[in-house]
Structure 1
């Protein structure tokens, strides 16, 4: 029992004394932490809550919701994350676009590209949005930029957007 208590606690050493502070409750699965702590998926443990950990957690949760097709939940979570994070802006754009709010999504994409013009994932999604708006030329420009940034046609974002463009051309020609 004492071993279990030690494995479920954080040890703090200050001025030669050792204090054992529980981080999460016994019997907990380990992914819900006590007040002042947040679950760190990378470390697989509760860590002292700070804004960087919390914002990363919120981004990851929002991204996971978006990738699962739960776009409203994604937006709700991402809106509580760091609004200056290009990844947050990208997934806000993605989720809004998937809900049919293409112009809103495109604005988030533009904000993300303003932060990092070399962020190829946002350029790929922006290219998809341009296709949804019927702007093949704009999508081709994004594809060319992605190719330049990746320096190879093996880039996943290049392959994705290239496939969407090919489908768009095929569908508009038939």
Structure 2
């Protein structure tokens, strides 16, 4: 069973681990990066490969593993490190990767840069509601509630008003939070 990456990252942070790469476990041993359910301490700019820390470079791990580790770092607030790891992904047109690059820039306060990545992700997959949610949250942070509401409408058209992405963006719009 896959352990949610964000939970591993949050657990590591709450125990005072300053530098880490979240890892996840597969019950069938199917994780090609060979990581375990423990959190491996690595330096910024490194990823876990076969239980060891290695420099995050293109091809060091399959794109999916780089994406998962980069995503977990972004969700744990390690935005610059996440950008290094996500930047090592070979497929520059993976909307999920573009989304978390945008997320890392947005959370670091670089809204204009974030918007470009979100727009590219949405251009590739117009139904990618998570990217639309994050784009809308960026618009809220920029004070562009009108644009955030237009993303909320787009999300509603794709998954309704009860999906998590709609609910999260609606909450951000109502509360004016990033």
Structures share fold, TM-score greater than 0.5: yes
The runs of at least 4 aligned residues of structure 1 exceeding 6 Å deviation read none
1:63 and 2:42 equivalent?
A: no
Sort the Cα spacing of 1:105 and 1:46 in 2 relative to 1 into closer, same or farther, 3 A.
closer
Scaled by the length of structure 1, the TM-score of the pair is 0.68
Give the Cα–Cα distance (whole angstroms) in 1 for the partners of residues 73 and 142 of structure 2.
25
More helix by share: 1
Report Cα offsets for 1:39-97 as digits up to 9, x if no partner: 9954424659xx6x710000000001001111111000000012110000000000011
Q: How many pairs are equivalent?
A: 128
For residue 119 of structure 2, the aligned residue among 89, 110, 127 is 110
Gaps of 5+ in 1: 1-38
Give the number of the structure whose residues are more often strand, by fraction. 1
Residue 154 of structure 1 deviates from its aligned partner by 1.4
RMSD: 2.3
State the TM-score, normalized to the length of structure 2: 0.66
Could you give the per-residue CA deviations for residues 118-148 of structure 1, whole angstroms, max 9, x where no partner exists?
Answer: 1000000000111111111110000011011
2:108 — aligned with what?
A: 99
Larger Rg computed on CA atoms? 1
